[in-house]
Amino acid sequence: MNESAHILLVAPTHYEVRYAINPWMEPERWLRDAAGFGAQARRSFDALVTALRAAGCRLTVIDGAPGLPDMVFPANAGVVLDGRLLLARFRYPERQGEEAPFARAFDALREAGVLREVASLPEGVFQEGAGDCLWDATRGLFWVGWGQRSNRASVQAVADYFGQPVVPLELVTARSYHLDVCFCPLAGGEILYYPPALSADSLARLRERVPAAQRIEATEDDLAHFSVNAVSVGREVVMSRTTDRLRGVLAERGYRVREVDLSPFMMSGGGAFCMTLRLDRRSTAPHAETVAAVTA
């Protein structure tokens, strides 16, 4: 049996591609067949639900809000560890309207006992949730992306709030606008990542902490399939339809890959991980009361 995983999803009732704030977004293409793509998005969402449940996940599905199509990507709404949630602050006005409805949803989860605390970022800090803050249970640290959406100050804000080690990773390409597009800690300890997305210093930090045998380099084709943007639960990996190469690499390492056609959401720059927020992540040690240092 896989580890227990409680995952939040947002139904795609109000999903559409109506603006472009990353290089993957295709609003013109969406508008050519909005009804058809909308129906396809609902089918893709249902297929993702089926795959996650088959992987052993418990799901909570909430509604989005009209006029906020990217609420379907709750990974960007907050970071969760040990029942404590740090609310995101979005850089672009197109997504800033999501902050209030997500805050209400998280307060409801706190009242239901799913979360024990919900907190806000300091003023002036942009941090776009788990999309830029990935917990590595094997190493007991956060990999924190910055440079595209989240700013450099978010690295210390994460360390201050959670009291856990953090490793900053600078994102240097517009296509990897969030860390989860190009970086995925797998449950067995491997890191799946796309090297060109990271600065030279960031690659050095990664290689210092992760031995070569546990580093899986993704190709540009893998990135374009949104295969790095995957949900890893035990030996199960849920992702968009992937490449033959990566499917084989993961199978050789003992992972079962569950593929879902997420093409309607890829038109907005999102894949399986973007569409999920894990609510039950726990640190490997009790929460530290002292402030954690940022690992340079």
Which of the residues are catalytic?
A: 178, 274
Between CA 9 and CA 13 the distance in angstroms is 12
Count other C-beta atoms under 10 Å from residue 112's C-beta.
9
61 near 10, Cβ under 8 Å? yes
Burial of 204 by CB count in 10 Å (0-12 exposed, 13-18 middle, 19+ buried)? exposed
Between CA 262 and CA 37 the distance in angstroms is 11
Burial of 93 by CB count in 10 Å (0-12 exposed, 13-18 middle, 19+ buried)? exposed
Among 244, 246, 278, 238, smallest CA distance to 262 is for: 238
Q: Which residues pair with 59 in a beta bridge?
A: 7
232 near 254, Cβ under 8 Å? no
Between CA 135 and CA 57 the distance in angstroms is 18
Between CA 275 and CA 230 the distance in angstroms is 10
69 near 268, Cβ under 8 Å? yes
Between CA 118 and CA 133 the distance in angstroms is 16
Residue 122 DSSP class: P
